[in-house]
Structure 1
Amino acid sequence: MDLTAREKAFLEKITPIARENNTIDPALYSRYNVKRGLRNEDGSGVLVGLTEIGEVHGYVIDEGEVVPVPGRLLYRGISVEDLVAGFQADGRFGFEETVFLLLFGYLPTKSELEEFQAVLGENRNLPGDFTESTILKNPSSDIMNKLARSVLTLYSFDPNPEDLSIENVLRQSIELISRFPVLVAYGYQAKRHYYHGESLYIHPPQPDLSTAENFLYLIRPDKEYTRSEAEILDLALVLHAEHGGGNNSTFTIHVVTSAATDVYSAVAAAIGSLKGAKHGGANIKVMAMMEDIKAHVKDWSDEQEVRDYLVKILNKEAFDRSGLVYGMGHAVYTISDPRAVLLREKAETLAKEKGFEEEFGLYELIARLTPELFAEIKKSNKVIAPNVDFYSGFVYKMLGIPTELYTPIFAVARIAGWSAHLVEELISGGRIIRPAYKNVIGKREYIPLDQRG
């Protein structure tokens, strides 16, 4: 929408004033010991709650010092490595088992898993004329925004949307987990048709397929996919399903749920959080950076040439001038991110299958060179390693998945963890989450209108 001349002039005049009146002296944060970003001085997170769902571990505190250790990710006390090894050894898809574990707190028996998979399959279809009235008639240029709007609209199709009894909330959670892949796929199909003029493909979800298989089936015009493609997407879903209570979107679920609002409102808020470039959009930044590196480095295997360009990036002389090598380092993990370790193995295999060996070699070179260059240029002793975002976008690219679906796929996975934390907050939270903010402007007198300059 074009701005009117009056609106444009007003914004040009008022914006610098608004910026000035919302700038707080950074020294005040130290004076009042404010935990900016809910972070302690040593970078660790401020403890604001307890959970039994997920644990993220990347360092220990020894005599007041942060000591890096290999990364550990636990789902309900079970290491993600053991979980993945278990279902892969059986030749099974693992996301549905992971959802059961996160949501109900234990590993299902064979019959329980089969029953749960059937329930998920039965709930994939969208209600009534939802596809036509909500998705196709109101397409969006951004699939995450479309997903949030769709979730809020599902409230209107729920015969009992405000009931916060655990049984009803579990029913709502199961329905959302089942429908997220369909909402994302249909939102994508509507976008490519109405915004890019491409053919519209709306395939009905298949109740007997796994979540990963269904997603590939729904987004591809020919509905075709290979077993190995579905397996690596399934692994990505498992690795993104949960990451403790402190990540931004899951904390959002706790905050909004603590106000005793409905499930759809809480989940839509979490989607808004995940959409952010600092959270779920991180792998898109990695891919943009990699495209920039590939454009400016002639020989991807030349260590010195790659090193020289990474130095430019870290010195804020290249790419987006942020000084960041995206996908390297993590708020908690130090020596390693277990998700990245698992996904890297599959990425290497897929690169050989799809003919991306040279590009995979560039990723490996960047992963090896960046930690030492970061320490040298930033004068930092922080230990960093590739995080899951470093490889996930590359994996999706090799699967032929469009960039605009990277963050929505994250949501398809993380709805499992969000739902588990939502239930936990309702059962064990008990109080509305309300941290304190200190007002530092002081008291001011009201000035009558005719006396203002």
Structure 2
Amino acid sequence: MLNQKMDHRLDELAEKITKRDTINRELYAKYDVKHGLRDADGTGVLVGITRIGYVTGYEKIDGKKVPMEGDLLYRGYSVKDMVKDFKETNRFGYEEVAYTLLFGNLPSKKDLNFFKGLLREERNLPRNYLEDTILKVPGRDVMNKMMRSTLCLYSYDADPDGTSTANVLRQSVSLLAKTPLIMAYNYQAKKHYIDGDSLVIHYPDSDMSTAEMILSLIRKNSDYTDAEAKILDLMLVLHAEHGGGNNSTFATHVVSSSGTDTYSAIVTALGSLKGPRHGGANLMCSAMLDDIASNVRDIHNENDIEDYLRRILGGQAFDEKGLIYGIGHAVYTLSDPRAELLKMQAKVLAEEKGYSDQYNFIRLVEDIGGRLLQERNGTAYPLTANIDLYSGLVYQMLGIPRDLYTPLFATARMAGWCAHRLEQVQDKKIIRPAYVHLNSRKKYLSMDDRNN
């Protein structure tokens, strides 16, 4: 611990950094720099070309942004059509989605069986890895532990730095198979060593789907119903990929373009996803819903909810940032297809498990919050829910703790990250954008001449 005098000095230096390094927003317009790599209308600046995922929520007609119903395409296939087929045939879909993202086409039965066989072969951890990497070094944050554990796999790889397509594909399949185990065991270690609960280590049944395996590993008794596993599978499908422009996937492209190893690239993506403005938004959304519910007299009273949401927008409640989490999206305008698909299944599960009150409360937050944001932003349409608004409720109904909300997102997105890394290693050019430099040249001063 720093002593009080040092701590005070650090506070002074931090305040100096804040004043010096905060860039006036007007300078972005002056130098025609796209703040956050976004145009003035909120659309993303084009920085690359991809065949993997595509997020569509508006059209550009005569230079103007025209709202439209949202869709999410995996290698050109609509996720709506994929989910519809999985549901009608009552089968798990995440493995098919992962295959499609990696290889670019829908798998035949033979293709899918071969791919599942690859995953089965890799559903194990290196010798002594569980004890040395996870159990002996528990952590309070599962995402941070997943980063460390993933990076440690480098030491067990016979060719960790190889960037040939075949080698990166081998590493990608291994990561897809191992990440659910890494997530579950780091969670169990945290529960035992940090929270004081019993240590529960189940070994994976390699014949299970990814969703089934996750539930069996994180639950004390390993039990789950088919309906529970199917809705978790839906969550994995909907989180598997979201285009090249989202923060963690773009980070994967940037880091991969340097020629670094797969494990370093994926850890970069994990670090990005952890942030509350990206994958960690589901936690912020759940915390906000709890805050609303505890501060209104009746969670079914629309006036009470509207009054409190207005306070949130005014920066007078919750985290005082003036944001309604879980509503609106950078690309989707009229609808988020992921939220629409999840909402339908969440309603069914809520009725089965006795969570209808909570589901109806969230629907009110969506309707009222979307209208209030429409008023504030001046859009021609009310903003709609994104997937984060309903994902917390689904996890709650499955008995999944908040420690795992973002790690589950990361486990699903591993398919998209690996597909984008495979795409990037085909390109031999490093991603290196430019910055406007504001300082003028300064005269160097010797130590005796410095006053600051």
What is the TM-score when the length of structure 2 is the normalising length? 0.98
| Offset from partner CA, 1:105-145 (integer Å, 9 cap, x none) | 11111121112112212211111110000000011111111
SS in 1 for 2:21: coil
- The CA distance in 2 between the partners of 1:378 and 1:114, in whole Å, is 49
Q: Match for residue 422 of structure 1?
A: 421
**Percent of aligned positions that are identical:** 51
Contact 2:123 2:204 in 1 (8 A): yes
Give 1:432's match in structure 2, choosing from 410, 430, 433: 430
Secondary structure of the 1:371 match is: helix
- Provide the C-alpha distance between the structure 2 equivalents of 1:219 and 1:450, rounded to a whole number of angstroms: 62
Q: Distance in 1 between matches of 2:357 and 2:86?
A: 31
Q: Which residue is 2:136 aligned to?
A: 137
Deviation at 1:379, TM superposition (A): 4.6
Structure 1 residues without counterparts, runs of 5 or longer: none
Residues 195-253 of structure 1: CA distance to partner in whole angstroms, max 9, x if unpaired?
A: 01100011111100000000000000111111100000000000000000000000011
Task: Check whether the contact 1:126–1:179 (CA below 8 A) recurs between aligned residues.
Answer: yes
Distance in 1, matches of 2:7 and 2:372, equals: 45
Tell me the distance in 2 between the aligned counterparts of 1:27 and 1:71. 32
SS for the counterpart of 1:56 is strand
Structure 1 residues 49-448: aligned runs within 5 Å:
49-379=48-378, 381=380, 383-427=382-426, 429-448=427-446
1:377, CA displacement in angstroms? 3.9
Deviation of 1:405 after TM superposition, in Å, equals 0.3
Q: 8 Å contact 2:373–2:382 — kept in the other structure?
A: no
Q: Match for residue 13 of structure 2? A: 14
Number of equivalenced pairs: 451
Letter in 1 for 2:449: Q
**CA root-mean-square deviation:** 1.2
1:378 CA displacement: 4.7
- Give the whole-Å Cα distance in 2 for the aligned partners of 1:287 and 1:69: 28
Is 1:315–1:377's contact at 8 Å kept on the other side of the alignment? no
CA contact (8 A) 1:118 1:207 kept: no
Given that residues 215 and 223 in structure 2 are in contact (C-alpha distance below 8 angstroms), is that contact kept between their aligned partners in structure 1? yes
How far apart in 1 are the matches of 2:247 and 2:12?
34
Change (3 A) 1:380 1:88: closer
How far did 1:64 drift? 2.1
Secondary structure of residue in 2 paired with 1:55: strand
Following the alignment from structure 1 to structure 2, what is the Cα–Cα distance between the partners of residues 3 and 384?
47
Q: 1:4: Cα distance to partner?
A: 2.7
Distance 2:77 2:59 in 1: 19
In 1, the alpha carbon distance for the partners of 2:344 and 2:117 equals 31
Question: Contact conserved, 1:68 with 1:383, CA < 8 A, in 2?
Answer: no
Q: CA deviation at 1:18?
A: 1.9
Aligned to 1:449: 447
Q: Taking structure 1 as the reference length, what is the TM-score of the superposition?
A: 0.98
C-alpha distance in 1, partners of 2:271/2:379? Answer: 33
Instruction: Report the secondary structure of 2:294's partner residue.
Output: helix
Q: For 1:171-201, what per-residue CA distance to the aligned partner results, in whole angstroms no more than 9, with x for missing partners? A: 1000000011000000000001110110001
| CA shift for structure 1 position 6 | 4.6
Letter of the 1:388 partner, please give it: I
- Runs (5+) with no aligned partner, structure 2: none
